[in-house]
Structure 1
Amino acid sequence: MIQVSVTSTEVRNQRGIAKASGKQYDINFQTVWFHTHDKQGQKNPYPEKSEIILEKDANGAALFWPAGEYTLAPSSLYIDRSGNLAVAPRLVPLKPKAQG
């Protein structure tokens, strides 16, 4: 399981015109922190910062993730058109640990 921490709901927008196609683009990003492991399977001591692309609602507003702890959904992994394993992060909330 890969744990993902969301600490801010700030959204970064990037828009422009693609050089290759000449088409306009409008993409929203959110910073997240991945709790990764080394090649031996040991958890790294610190989470690593990354950005994920956000989906949009029917009005084009970014659907950001609330602050909290998540894991990657199985639907995050897919085979791209070149036959390579690819990742498009989709998050699933982690259930809080029961205290007692």
Structure 2
Amino acid sequence: MLKVSVETEVIDLKTGISAKTGKPYNIREQEAWMYGYGRDGQPQKHPQKIKLTLDDEQEKGYPVGQYILDPASIYVDRFGQVAIRARLRVPAAAVPAQPKAA
């Protein structure tokens, strides 16, 4: 599992007009740090800064905290190639247990 650390809730907004469609666009990004792996498959010693592109329906960014990369981040794109769009989730160990019904 790839670990990701969000250290700020600041969201950067990129706006413009699409050259292809002529329509305006907004891209919201949030900075995070990913604890990745090298080409040799070994964990890297230091995290790397990444940008998370937020979905349109995400009103807010991710709260400060520790996450893992959700498996839903990996999909097949329109060209039949493997693609990744980072979506984060809280690790199961960090989610408080729900009380069991009697």
* Residue matched to 2:100: none
Gaps of 5+ in 1: none
How far did 1:63 drift? 2.2
**TM-score normalised according to structure 1 size:** 0.85
Gaps of 5+ in 2: 95-102
Equivalent residues in 2 for 1:51-62, closer than 5 Å:
51-57=51-57, 62=59
Question: Highest CA radius of gyration, 1 or 2?
Answer: 2
C-alpha separation between the residues in 2 aligned to 1:62 and 1:50? 20
Equivalent residues in 2 for 1:37-76, closer than 5 Å:
37-57=37-57, 62-76=59-73
**TM-score normalised according to structure 2 size:** 0.84
- Which among 78, 83, 86 is matched to residue 86 of structure 1? 83
How far did 1:21 drift? 1.5
How far did 1:33 drift? 0.8
Report if aligned partners of 1:80, 1:86 keep a CA contact under 8 Å in 2: yes
C-alpha separation between the residues in 1 aligned to 2:69 and 2:30? 15
The Cα RMSD (Å) is 1.4
* Residue matched to 2:26: 26
Report if aligned partners of 1:56, 1:63 keep a CA contact under 8 Å in 2: no
